Structure 1
Amino acid sequence: MRYFLITFSLVTMLLWQMPFANAATPVTVQLRWLHQFQFAGYYQAVEQGYFAEAGLDVTLLEGGPDALEPTDKLLRGDIDFAITASGVVMRRLEGKPVVAVAALMQTSPLVWITLKESNITTPQDLVGKRLMMMPPPESAELVTILRKEGLPVDTVQLVPNTYRLDDLIDGKVDAYDGYISNEPYVLNQRGVDYNLINPRDYGVNFYSDVLVTTEDLANSDPELVSAMKEAVERGWDYAFKNVDSTIDLIQANYAPQKSRGHLRYEAEKIRQLVMPELVQLGHMNPGRWQMIAESYQDLNMTRGNASLDGFIFTPPERADYSYIIYSLIGALILLAIVMFIMCRFIYLSRLLTEEIAQRREAEKELQEANKALQTLSITDPLTNLYNRRGFTELVNKAMSRAARERTELAILALDLDHFKKINDEHGHLVGDHVLVRFAELLTTVARPYDTVARVGGEEFSILIERVDIDTATKIAKRIRKDTEALQIMHPDVDEPIRMTVSIGLTLNTTSVIDIWRGADEALYQAKNSGRNRVVVI
């Protein structure tokens, strides 16, 4: 027995040392921007030795205005990994051999920032304005909301980014391409009031800060890429659990010019974008990547049409090299190991059962988190109605259903008359209250099986299935009448707020595009005919 224990200990030590026998592999990572909390997980992976444990000697290259598109350096072979935006999927569609390893932020931090005094609060308000932005694909999300709202890019004045927030404050531009985790803190410190136009509020909810590598490296050395991914995720887990020490590290080694208050603000905002309590760090959903790619294609932001197969990195299964050790050990050691396994069989079986249960629970939690994210992506956060994306999906299904059942359906396009005046006179909080009350009115008047959606700022739509033109018209007229009679009270307003609504109605046509076009044309006629009326096409 003593001989067995000594020999078994030597074998165990040999097996433990084998993965670390090779020298550390040099790896270069291009950061997306200047040093800040945005890359805290990478700093801690270096500081805590996670990269070193994985056999990696990592060099972090600071980004900035001269390194806006690190994917170019990656494809040239200048670096091994890069951190970039969701626009990298356009490169893959164009046939470029890039592979997404992990997505840190489940929601993009990019927002349009405008001064409070400008009253620019929606994409529609940007028409004719000067917009300072980084070149695509870094700012793809901000261009996407313009096109989703039906605003061609040539309706705004795009200004190259000087990366000087003072250009916004001094009125040289009307809107600034910024991070929700950075510029708002600076404006708060300087006492400048501002508005944020967030792509997420308009159904644009893309990944951000995506760790990418080349297809060649992912295929030739998947163990290295997998080790890199695990070390980065461990670093971010440590950073979120130890924010104060992470801020100390950043100030000491990376960004001494940033205050503790600024770094803490950034840490809180980034945690909201990463959502570590809901989503596993680095998680990527293939269906969501496909949706992001299709969004870019639908909006003509790329002409690429290559397959996304192989775009998402899949870690390799752990190879079992224990047979090498067994072959070097004599029959006596092999027999001793078998005896040991037999003695521990019951204990190991119990551990295996617990591991399976834990994995099933983790998979269940992940499915629930994905379901919650899906719900968020099709829901308007202010009114809890469907947003444009969710409503469009339902219209597509309803058209197919109507064709099968040989029934008719109608779409109502509704627009609150002179709503901007309410915002200008009473402020956006009162305007939001009005929108919520109007949404409640629509839900009350609509039939239980009709679908109500908010598809824009003050624009709403209703899908009415299994209906004839007379019934649909009665519903539309009742909405118009009830809206005209509605008196909305708010603590900040002395007199009741009253409003009217213009409604366009069209009945079942041959395609989704035609029924949308018909409803919009009817609404256009209603507004041009004096508003506060129903027009049927």
Structure 2
Amino acid sequence: MPTSPGPHHTRPLLAQVVLALLFCLPGLALTAEPLRLQLRWLPQFQFAGYYMAQEKGYYREAGLEVEILPGGPGTPNPIDSLLAREVDFAISNSGLVIAHMAGKPVVALAALMQSSPSVWIVRADSGIYTPHDLAGKRVMAMPLPESAELRIMLMREGIRLDQVQEQPTSFNPQDLIDGHTDAYNGYVSNEPFWLQQRQVPYRLLKPREYGVNFYNDVLSTHADLLHRRPEQVDAFLQASLRGWQYALEHIEESIQLIHQQHAPQKSLAHLRFEAEALRQLIMPELVQLGHMNPGRWETIAQHYVQLGLAQGSLDLDRFLYTRRLETDHRLLYQIVAGGLLTLLLVTAIALRFAHLSARLRREVGRRREAEEQLLQSNQRLEELANTDRLTGQWTRRKFEEVALQAIAGAERYGEPLSLIFLDLDHFKQINDQHGHDVGDKVLSALAQRLRSHLRKADSLCRWGGEEFVILMPHTELGHACELAEKLRGQVASAPLYADLRVTASFGVSQWQPGQSLNQLVDSADRLLYRAKQGGRNRVECMPRPADQAGELGSRT
């Protein structure tokens, strides 16, 4: 006789139904346990994307519960916490690749900053303009690998690390103001605001302007978590990038949230300054959020090996995350079947036309060899056309091409751009008294002396005769005037050839919005003429706005 099911039958059946419903809901299926994200510093706009992903519910929509842990003094290194399985995700700098090359199971998911914010900060009155000027100076650097790109910049510019007096960082830029150090390792998004508030003029030496470009704020995870729960890792990554997209499109809203809920100690003005500086490093208009280039990672790894921080090999397939997509097997079978049929047809055609294909390959090889020879010839001709035969510097034609690009960049991003126009004083007397051969040697030596005090980002051009032009991207008028004064002193300090001493006059101008290249050059040329009329061996600078007038004294 059948009986009704009792409670011991009902509970297992109900549990099975609830479990089935949970796995049918896409969001709930991923929520196995809370995920922990370890930041690398105290709360600030640097982590806005993760805060907004949580605030706007992007993590929750992906079926994730996420806890965001602040970093800062007294907290473990985020990579150490990740390897100890204390957290599931971590934010680090490019030094993550060091752990990978040491055999640690770390995976890079996304690089939020396409360039590092780390810079050398020097006082404007320090006389330090380029990495060469740091030789023999005191430099307050963060521990490795945080300061790796700054050290690599010095090495690339020919400055050995034992040529600088390294000091451990105090994490206090007041030491720069008080003269306890000559160069301070800071962030372009942080300390410059602090110095501006105290009305302390400063100058930045940026690694990317010297060919050193590291990723920063790299989102990473443990290889084991990626192996066990790839869908969860991908869901976290996509929700985080979505949060960053929102934060960069709604900067003021993000700033208000961070100030109210996470970083009340930072002023709104400081957060706005940081947001603008970081946006320029993230470059969302030009680069897809989180993009990572394998070639750049190989270069970064080589730099760490050069510093002695890393050894071993870089396995990009294991180190860089590749999004995994589910495959429709029925479609796959159809593709395989169609591929086999196509292969049979292609094989039949290939056998019939094998002889013709061989002849075609030989002809293609001959054409490719001819094209390569033509390309090499064209490259050589272009070099000859772009390089001044006497001085080895750019010709006027090449200079104008690069200058137009620099003006377009300055107009688009609002960055400063300055130009120096200089001319040797009484050069005709050298030619008349010693001959044109000696005059040529003086011009060649002048170009080499000027080039040795410029950045790689600066463009030096022989404008004509004894006239030279220097274009300086990312350089404000005051800094350009100081550099011109330094170059004036270097020209006059020692003979350029044999015992011939010469002097030079300089005109310095800064590009103004809407100004053409010809107008910029004409402005500097008129200032050069004024320097000549004022007695030569002088620097004349374009008048500056009233709000900058007190920052630097007059130049003579």
Cα shift at 1:93? 2.0
Partner of 1:374: none
Give SS of 1:278's match: coil
TM-score by length of 1: 0.60
Report the CA distance shift for 1:140/1:320 in structure 2 as closer, same or farther (over 3 A).
Answer: same
Secondary structure in 2 matching 1:282: coil
Identity among equivalent pairs (%): 47
Query: How far apart, in 1, do the equivalents of 2:210 and 2:120 lie?
Result: 12
Contact 2:26 2:63 in 1 (8 A): no
Residue 495 of structure 1 is aligned with which of 531, 538, 542? 531
- The 5 Å alignment of 1:61-460 reads 61-67=69-75, 69-318=77-326, 384=402, 416=447, 419=450, 436-438=459-461
Distance 1:160 1:106 in 2: 27
Alignment partners' CA distance in 1, 2:92 and 2:399: 27
Distance 2:320 2:183 in 1: 34
Post-superposition CA distance 1:327-346 (Å, at most 9, x none): xxxxxxxxxxxxxxxxxxxx
> What is the CA distance between 1:485 and its match in structure 2?
11
**TM-score, structure 2 as length reference:** 0.58
Query: Following the alignment from structure 1 to structure 2, what is the Cα–Cα distance between the partners of residues 120 and 29?
Result: 40
1:420 and 1:284, CA in 2 relative to 1: closer, same or farther beyond 3 A?
A: closer
Shift in Å, 1:498: 7.5
Q: Residue 129 and residue 214 in structure 1: after superposition, are their counterparts in 2 closer, same or farther (change >3 A)?
A: same
Q: Deviations over 1:394-451 (max 9, x none)?
A: xxxxxxxxxxxxxxxxxxx977466599x9xxxxxxx89x964536569x99xxxxxx
- Whether the aligned pair in 2 keeps the contact of 1:68 and 1:138 (CA below 8 Å) is no
Is this contact kept in 1: 2:108–2:320, CA < 8 A? yes
Amino acid at match of 2:258: I
1:39 aligned onto 2:47: yes
Q: Distance in 2 between matches of 1:308 and 1:439?
A: 45
Specify the SS of the correspondent of 2:284: coil
Cα distance change of structure 1 residues 161 and 440 upon mapping to structure 2, 3 Å threshold: same
Tell me the distance in 1 between the aligned counterparts of 2:109 and 2:229.
13
Distance in 2 of aligned mates of 1:381 and 1:234: 42
Task: Give yes or no for contact 1:24–1:57 (8 Å, CA) kept in 2.
Answer: no
For each residue in 1:196-219, what CA deviation from the matched residue of structure 2 results, as whole angstroms up to 9, or x when unmatched?
Answer: 000011000111110011222222
Q: Distance in 1 between matches of 2:132 and 2:46?
A: 31
Number of residues paired by the alignment?
A: 367
| 8 Å contact from structure 2 (residues 62, 235) kept in 1 | yes
1:277 aligned counterpart, secondary structure: coil
Q: Deviations over 1:182-208 (max 9, x none)?
A: 111111111000010000110001111
- What is the rounded CA distance, in whole Å, between the counterparts of 1:382 and 1:308 in structure 2? 41
CA distance in 1, matches of 2:242, 2:445: 50
Whichever residue aligns with residue 461 of structure 2, its letter is: F
Moved more, 112-121 or 90-99: 90-99
What 5-or-longer segments of structure 1 have no aligned partner?
1-12, 323-379, 386-412, 424-430, 446-453, 459-478, 500-537
> Partners in 1 of 2:229 and 2:273 — Cα distance?
38
Distance 1:267 1:102 in 2: 19
Decide whether aligned partners of structure 1 residues 101 and 22 sit closer, same or farther in structure 2, where only a CA change above 3 A counts.
closer
Aligned equivalents of 2:450 and 2:314: distance in 1?
44
Deviates more, 1:183-192 or 1:59-68: 59-68
- Per the TM alignment, residue 56 of structure 1 is displaced from its structure 2 partner at its CA by 1.8
The alpha carbon displacement at 1:95 in A equals 2.0
* Residue 170 of structure 1, CA deviation: 1.0
Structure 2 distance, partners of 1:235, 1:439, is 50
Shift of 1:67: 4.1
